[in-house]
């Protein structure tokens, strides 16, 4: 075979390979190389493994000498005119991520920056990525996202998250680069897999990014839904506190749904203007309207006035000791006199009620191979935060089409850093469809999130699960770092301490619903079994009502199912639980719940 013939075959093969590599122009255009300007910094920030691949070419910012390149997890910037020349785009600040700060931890070992606790897993990763220099300051608390089964925390230039089944030490980056480059990078193949993004994989792109950045998530609350097309044709998105919809007539590009009217909240008769009153009066018709206290007016003015809040529909009234409320067309405001300064006024979270009432009809029907049953599952913990020396109590209730399922069996799994996954079986549900159990104390640092899941099994051959979490907090230095100290022996002092814990299934409930109350009694941290118990409730219409329960169980607990209470929205229903031991000694504790949700 001649050399010329061999060369000809090689040329044909090479040309064929090149054609195969470049034949699909669309696919070729969606992949980019790291620009030499950023290659060293890209490697410093752990490159493709952490930041992800580049999703754009290097870009020049008009009107400046800035150069940028977008990566999945961050945006790298070069500024030749200022020092430092290299930095990361503060995507978290631009997006308006914010949160109420954590309390200053008592344990100095807890990482606490900019008013927020950074959990141990995130703290180590924060240092690995260069700390404040490259990650920036935290903007939110670490929080559990039950929709995605992740723990998330937002920082100025990066966002951290972990899946619940990630091995210890594993931390991922939120797709900050994809969010920032959404318009130009929308065809990037990885975008559809960026499940953490609030809008990346939705049928409808959320148009509310700029509005949220101006309001802040402290005003809107976290998203409860993705953007969707509402019945009136407008794009809408539901948040914990408010509901946004696209409105081209508003300079902000969006307005708030009148949730108060849509949820049929009570409208009070107008107040009459009094000339000698120093309080602000909002006149709705000549001489008639509502008085608004100064602290609510400050909040309304800070968030773009009555155009956003809508007109007042109710009087300012105290709903329980130290807490007052006033509702407007688009949201309700609460004032807590005992809260920290700057946190006393907040928006009442009505988003979930709105979602329950209106969102289901807009969602696409799921394609299920099995018959879909109308199962409602509620889980809760007694203490949203507790120390590593305290027992947590978990309650779970299951209903089908509003009716309780008796004798249903559930399993609780708790995920811990030190002990891995721990499983607890619930006892069969009672006549109210509920079951309760007590967890052993969990040893963990202050600020650690404890994730748990309750699964009801064997219901029509299906499993129904729900997840939640609580926080480890209140440990002293001695709890986790105690070193034995030799002390002089002293005569023992016998101190008898009786502790009663009470809780209700629904902190607020309508007058047509049954309330369920649990109560546990411990003496010197030991559960008190076989104590008689009763609950005394003070009803506005029926007076004093007494309920008896069976003697306390092995966990020292009794449970009461209450009849619906006839009361108005906003009325507090006080009750008292009393335990009596075999010596006739009585131990009592008072508590209350709120009537809300009446039509």
Mind spelling out the 3-state secondary structure of 176-215?
HHHHHCCCCCCCCHHHHHCCCCCCCCCCCCCCCHHHHHHH
Domain count, the chain: 4
pLDDT band at 484 (very low <50, low <70, confident <90, very high): very low
Is 553 a member of any domain?
A: yes
Across the chain, mean pLDDT equals: 80
Is 491 a member of any domain?
A: no
Q: For residue 527, is the peptide bond before it cis, meaning its omega torsion is within 30 degrees of 0?
A: no
Domain match, 211 and 327 both: yes
Return the pLDDT at 366: 35
Domain match, 285 and 431 both: no
The 3-class SS string of 265-293 reads CCCCCCEECCCCCCCEEEEEECCEEEEEC
Give the rounded distance of the alpha carbon of 440 from its chain centre: 25
Token pair for 47 = 């490159």
The residues near 456 (Cβ < 8 Å, ≥ 6 apart) are 375, 377, 396, 398, 405, 408, 409, 410, 463, 464, 465
pLDDT band at 77 (very low <50, low <70, confident <90, very high): very high
Does position 270 have pLDDT exceeding 80, yes or no?
A: yes
Q: Among 83-97, 359-373, 561-575, whose mean pLDDT is lowest?
A: 359-373
Return the pLDDT at 293: 95
Return the pLDDT at 401: 82
Return the pLDDT at 62: 84
* 278: number of Cβ within 10 Å: 7
The residue-averaged pLDDT of 1-19 equals: 37
Give the DSSP letter string of 312-375: B-S--EEEETTEEEEEBSS-EEEEETTSPTT-SEEE---HHHHIIIIIGGGSPPP--SSPPP-E
Return the pLDDT at 79: 92
The residue-averaged pLDDT of 410-425 equals: 83
Domain match, 314 and 239 both: yes
pLDDT band at 137 (very low <50, low <70, confident <90, very high): very high
Strands 515-523 and 498-504: what pairing?
antiparallel
Does position 560 have pLDDT exceeding 70, yes or no?
A: yes
The residue-averaged pLDDT of 490-517 equals: 77
The residues near 99 (Cβ < 8 Å, ≥ 6 apart) are 116, 139, 140, 141, 143, 217, 218
Return the pLDDT at 66: 92
Domain match, 197 and 209 both: no
pLDDT band at 73 (very low <50, low <70, confident <90, very high): very high
Give the domain extent around 358. 205-363
**Residue of higher predicted confidence among 369 and 314:** 314
Entry pTM: 0.37
Q: Where a domain ends, among 442, 474, 506?
A: 474
- Rounded distance between C-alpha atoms, residue 590 and residue 574, angstroms: 7
pLDDT band at 225 (very low <50, low <70, confident <90, very high): confident
CB 415 within 8 A of CB 450: yes
Domain match, 316 and 439 both: no
Does position 449 have pLDDT exceeding 60, yes or no?
A: yes
Q: Which DSSP category does 159 fall into?
A: E
The residue-averaged pLDDT of 338-342 equals: 80
Helices and strands per DSSP (H, E), number in the chain: 14, 39
CB 476 within 8 A of CB 106: yes
Domain match, 443 and 574 both: no
Give the DSSP letter string of 535-567: EEEEETTTEEEEEEEPPP-TTSEEEEEEPP---
- Rounded distance between C-alpha atoms, residue 460 and residue 465, angstroms: 14
Burial class (CB in 10 A: 0-12, 13-18, 19+), 486: exposed
Return the pLDDT at 311: 95
On the CB side of 255, CA atoms within 13 Å amount to 14
**Residue of higher predicted confidence among 534 and 206:** 534
Domain match, 246 and 124 both: no
CA-closest candidate to residue 564, choices 518, 516, 511: 511
The residue-averaged pLDDT of 85-92 equals: 92
The residue-averaged pLDDT of 538-553 equals: 88
Is 352 a member of any domain?
A: yes
Q: Where a domain ends, among 423, 458, 474?
A: 474
Domain match, 326 and 442 both: no
Q: If you average pLDDT over each of 226-230, 367-371, 592-596, which comes out highest? A: 592-596
pLDDT band at 155 (very low <50, low <70, confident <90, very high): very high
pLDDT band at 496 (very low <50, low <70, confident <90, very high): low
Q: Where a domain ends, among 337, 363, 389?
A: 363
Does position 351 have pLDDT exceeding 90, yes or no?
A: no
pLDDT band at 56 (very low <50, low <70, confident <90, very high): confident
Is 74 a member of any domain?
A: yes
Q: Among 222-226, 276-280, 538-542, whose mean pLDDT is lowest?
A: 222-226
Q: Give the sheet arrangement for strand 449-459, strand by strand.
A: 385-386, 462-472, 449-459, 409-416, 420-425
Q: Among 193-202, 280-289, 375-384, 492-501, whose mean pLDDT is lowest?
A: 193-202
Question: Residue 504 sits in a domain of what CATH number?
Answer: 2.60.40.1930
Per-residue pLDDT reduced to its tens digit, 176-196: 888 777 645 544 444 443 433
* 322: number of Cβ within 10 Å: 12
* Three-state secondary structure call for residue 389: coil
Domain match, 189 and 210 both: no
The residue-averaged pLDDT of 42-71 equals: 90
Domain match, 65 and 176 both: yes
The residue-averaged pLDDT of 520-537 equals: 88
Is 78 a member of any domain?
A: yes
Q: If you average pLDDT over each of 11-15, 437-441, 477-481, which comes out highest? A: 437-441
Domain match, 178 and 78 both: yes
Per-residue pLDDT reduced to its tens digit, 196-224: 333 333 346 677 877 776 777 778 887 77
CA-closest candidate to residue 434, choices 489, 389, 484, 395: 395
Return the pLDDT at 147: 64
Please give the torsion angle defined by the CA atoms of residues 431, 434, 438 and 443, in that order, rounded to the nearest 10 degrees.
170
Domain match, 307 and 273 both: yes
CB 383 within 8 A of CB 375: no
Long-range pairs of 18-21 with CB within 8 A, sequence gap ≥ 24: none
Return the pLDDT at 372: 63
The residue-averaged pLDDT of 519-539 equals: 88
Is 77 a member of any domain?
A: yes
Is 3 a member of any domain?
A: no
Is 92 a member of any domain?
A: yes
Does position 393 have pLDDT exceeding 90, yes or no?
A: no
**Residue of higher predicted confidence among 71 and 489:** 71
Q: Among 278-287, 359-368, 517-526, whose mean pLDDT is lowest?
A: 359-368
């Amino acid at each position: 075979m001649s050399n010329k013939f061999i060369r000809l075959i090689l040329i044909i093969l090479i040309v064929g390979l090149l054609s195969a590599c470049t034949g699909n122009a669309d696919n070729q255009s969606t992949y980019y190389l790291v620009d030499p300007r950023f290659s060293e910094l890209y490697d410093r920030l752990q490159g493709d493994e952490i930041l992800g691949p580049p999703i754009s070419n290097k870009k020049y910012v008009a009107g400046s000498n800035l150069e940028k390149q977008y990566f999945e997890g961050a945006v790298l910037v070069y500024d030749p005119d200022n020092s430092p020349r290299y930095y990361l785009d503060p995507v978290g600040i631009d997006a308006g991520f914010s949160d109420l700060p954590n309390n200053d931890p008592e344990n100095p070992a807890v990482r606490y920056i900019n008013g927020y606790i950074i959990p141990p897993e995130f703290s180590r990763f924060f240092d690995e990525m260069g700390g404040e220099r490259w990650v920036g300051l935290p903007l939110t608390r670490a929080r559990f996202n039950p929709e995605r089964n992740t723990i998330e925390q937002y920082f100025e230039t990066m966002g951290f998250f972990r899946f619940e089944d990630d091995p210890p030490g594993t931390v991922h980056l939120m797709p900050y680069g994809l969010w920032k480059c959404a318009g130009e990078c929308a065809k990037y193949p990885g975008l559809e897999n960026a499940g953490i993004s609030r809008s990346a994989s939705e049928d409808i792109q959320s148009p509310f990014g700029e509005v949220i950045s101006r309001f802040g998530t402290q005003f809107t609350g976290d998203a409860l839904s993705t953007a969707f097309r509402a019945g009136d044709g407008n794009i809408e998105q539901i948040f914990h506190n408010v509901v946004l919809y696209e409105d081209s007539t508003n300079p902000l590009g969006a307005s708030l749904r009148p949730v108060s009217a849509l949820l049929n909240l009570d409208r009070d008769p107008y107040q009459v203007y009094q000339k000698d009153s120093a309080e602000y009066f909002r006149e709705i018709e000549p001489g008639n309207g509502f008085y608004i206290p100064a602290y609510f007016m400050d909040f309304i003015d800070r968030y773009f006035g009555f155009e956003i809040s809508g007109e007042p529909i109710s009087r300012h009234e105290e709903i329980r000791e130290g807490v007052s409320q006033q509702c407007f067309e688009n949201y309700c405001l609460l004032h807590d006199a005992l809260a920290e300064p700057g946190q006393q006024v907040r928006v009442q979270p009505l988003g979930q009620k709105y979602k329950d009432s209106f969102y289901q009809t807009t969602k696409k029907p799921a394609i299920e191979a099995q018959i879909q049953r109308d199962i409602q599952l509620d889980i809760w913990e007694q203490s949203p935060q507790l120390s590593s020396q305290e027992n947590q109590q978990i309650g779970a209730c299951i209903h089908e089409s509003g009716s309780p399922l008796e004798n249903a069996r559930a399993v609780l799994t708790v995920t811990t850093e030190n002990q891995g996954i721990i499983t607890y079986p619930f006892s069969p549900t009672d006549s109210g469809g509920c079951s309760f159990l007590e967890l052993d104390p969990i040893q963990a640092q202050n600020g650690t999130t404890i994730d748990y899941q309750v699964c009801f099994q064997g219901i029509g051959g299906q499993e129904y699960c729900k997840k939640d979490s609580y926080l480890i907090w209140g440990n002293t230095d001695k709890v986790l770092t105690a070193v034995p100290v030799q002390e002089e022996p002293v005569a023992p002092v016998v101190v008898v301490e009786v502790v009663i814990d009470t809780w209700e299934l629904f902190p607020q409930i309508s007058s047509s619903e049954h309330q369920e109350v649990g109560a546990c009694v411990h003496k010197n941290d030991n559960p008190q079994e076989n104590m008689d118990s009763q609950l005394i409730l003070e009803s506005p219409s029926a007076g004093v009502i007494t309920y008896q329960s069976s003697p306390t169980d092995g966990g020292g607990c009794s449970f009461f199912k209450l009849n619906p209470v006839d009361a108005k929205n906003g009325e507090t229903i006080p009750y008292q639980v009393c335990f009596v031991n075999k010596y006739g000694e009585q131990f009592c504790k008072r508590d209350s719940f709120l009537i809300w949700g009446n039509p």
